[in-house]
Structures are given as C-alpha cells and as structure tokens.
Amino acid sequence: MNISLVIPLLNEDESLLELYDWITKVMQTNHYTYEIIFIDDGSTDNSWNVIEKLSSKDKNIKGIRFQKNYGKSQALDAGFELAKGDVVITMDADLQDHPDEIPELYHLIIKEGFDLISGWKKKRYDNIITKNIPSKLFNAAARKTSGLKLHDFNCGLKAYKKEVIKTIKVSGEMHRYIPVLAKNEGFTKIGEKIVQHQARKYGETKFGMDRFINGFLDLITISFLSKFGKRPMHFFGLWGSLMFLFGTSTAFYIGVLKLYNVFNGTKAILVTDNPWFYIALTSMILGTLLFLAGFIGELIIKTKSNEKHYTIKEKLNF
C-alpha cells in the first residue's frame, strides 16, 4: 500500500464529506493505493455516523472511535499502530490542510529519501494575537531547544516513512514534537515543505491559549527526556551525589571545628545553633532523595511496558 492517511478529529461532522471527496479525488488522480484512517477522539456530534456511512461504501475508509476524548497525541498513536502504508501522512479534519499537498509529500519520502517531512504554514489565516504571534514564539523556542530548524512544529500536515511511526511512541501532549521524537530515535533526514493553509470553514477551533502554555511545558519535558530519558541516573544521580558530598563535607567541617574549639578551650556555639548544620543536613537529605529518584527512574525504564493510554470503543474495516 502506498499511503496511509491518519486523520484525528473531534466534532468535525460538517467537514468530513468534503474532506473525503477531496482526498479521494487526489488519490485516484495519482493512482495511489491507500487507506484513510479517521480517529474519532470522543466526538459528541454526528462525526462517527458520517465515518460509518463512508466506510460502508468505501473499503479504503477505516475508523477508530475512542471511548472519550483522550487528545490528539493518543489519536495519532492509535492511527500509527494500525497504519499499513509505506508512507504515512497526517492531516487535520477541519479542511485547513490541503490534500493537494499529498503527491509532493509522498514524492519527498519515496524519491528523495526523507524520513519525515513537516509542513510549514508560511502564510496563515489564523488570529494574529491568539495564534500567530504565540506560535512564532513557541516555534523559536522549539528550534533553539531541539536543534531542528523547522518553522512550524505544530503543523498537522506531516509525512513519515513507515519505519518512523512504527518506532516512535506518541503520548501525553507530545504530538507537537514528533520530529524531535523521531530525531531522538536516530531518524536524522528530516525536512520541511511550505504548505497551503486556509481559514477554518466550519465550526470552531478546539485549541485555546492554554495549548501554548502546555506546549512550552512539554518542550521542557522533551528536552530533558532527549538527554536523560533513557539514563535518569546520569542527571539525578550526579546532582544527588554532589549535594550529598557538599552536605557531608560541611557537616565534617562543622564537627572538626567544634572538636578543635573544645580541645583548645575556645568558646564555641552549639552545633545545632550553627546555621550551616541545617544547610548540611538539608543537602544530605536532598542528595539522598535525588539519588533515589534516579535509581527508581532506572528501575521504571527497565520494567515499563508499552501500555496504551486510551480505550478504543469501535473499529471499522480493520
């Protein structure tokens, strides 16, 4: 199979038929073998009924329905697990991403040998204050932290070599950082393509300003995981050891100083009246806790299982 299209959605019943017709036209024109995987992330409108009708008349249409709204990352992860195409392309269901971009994205993966191509909505039709400016700040921070020179990390339109999506694990809110996850797994040929963007035609956006706050917090998380995710002891153990060493050295110095004053008859304050005693004690306790955190982190990594953080209610055509 040439292409798997993975499309997460939440309450997009008005756009699904138009999106389906558009995608089908592109696929048939280019003679691709394909599948379209719609992931209904707990919609409360008529979205699942539309997907059922489409799948009943077209076996290329497949559907996954979540028990409730789990989030875009979980929806993508479910789609990635079941996708069979040599190239996997993700896009949003709100018609802001253009299916006409599919042939060139496919060409870049198959002919040019890229592992991942990320879309760049260079000209956007979103609100400048609530979306465009925060997005620019977020992407600048992501570029600086990750080392990837991409302009639009959060663009839903991306293309992947099959091996990429079968290797990475998307959880939490990490869908924004799939290129970073791919890079961390050794997929280094990551490119970018300017894609068309159009204003939302139906409904309202599902994302507010809080997504940028969450995005920056996730950026800190993934930056840490990129360096220490597979070796937490290197971080927690190092700082724990340094703090414990500082505490014990300080406590030793206080004890030696007290003994020196006692043997020489010099008046000295009680050890417990010395503020450095409490600094040393606190440092030793924190150092021990940090070291234990690193040790427990190593145990978790060694024993963790690939648990799914979503529940699928129904599947169609799988």
**How many residues are recorded in the chain?**
318
- The answer to whether the CB of 53 falls within 8 A of the CB of 129 is no
For the cut 90, the answer to whether the pLDDT of residue 214 exceeds it is: no
Cβ contacts of 271-277, under 8 Å, gap ≥ 24: 276/250, 277/251
191 Cβ neighbours under 8 A, 6+ residues apart: 108, 112, 114, 116, 117, 118
Which residues lie closer than 8 Å to 17 by C-beta, 6 or more apart? 50, 54
Tokens of 222: 């993934």
pTM: 0.76
Mean pLDDT value across residues 75-81: 96
The string of pLDDT tens digits covering residues 254-279 is 988 888 888 887 877 888 888 999 99
For residue 98 the two structure tokens come to 């253009």
Res 206 pLDDT > 70: no
Q: Give the whole-angstrom CA distance, residue 108 versus residue 112.
A: 5
Is residue 20 over pLDDT 70?
yes
Burial class of 225 by CB neighbour count within 10 A (0 to 12, 13 to 18, 19+): middle
HSE-CB of 313 using CA atoms within 13 angstroms: 12
| pLDDT class of 69 with cuts at 50, 70, 90 | very high
Mean pLDDT over residues 208-232, rounded? 70
Q: What is the mean pLDDT of the chain?
A: 87
Q: Is the pLDDT of residue 210 over 70?
A: no
Q: Within 10 A of 40 (CB to CB), how many other CB atoms are there?
A: 30
Check residues 297 and 183 and name the one with the higher pLDDT. Answer: 183
> What is the structure's pLDDT at 307?
60
- Would you say residue 29 has pLDDT above 70? yes
Residue 202: name the closest of 43, 5, 18, 3 by CA: 18
3-state secondary structure of 6: strand
pLDDT of res. 207: 57
What confidence tier does 128 reach under pLDDT thresholds 50, 70, 90? low
Residues facing residue 312 across a β-bridge: 66
Which two structure tokens, joined as six digits, stand for 261? Answer: 């004053």
Name the one residue in this structure whose structure tokens are 């997005």. Answer: 135
DSSP 224: H
- Tokens coding 182: 């791919």
Residue 305, C-beta contacts closer than 8 angstroms, at least 6 positions apart: none
Q: What would the mean pLDDT of 100-109 be, rounded to a whole number? A: 97
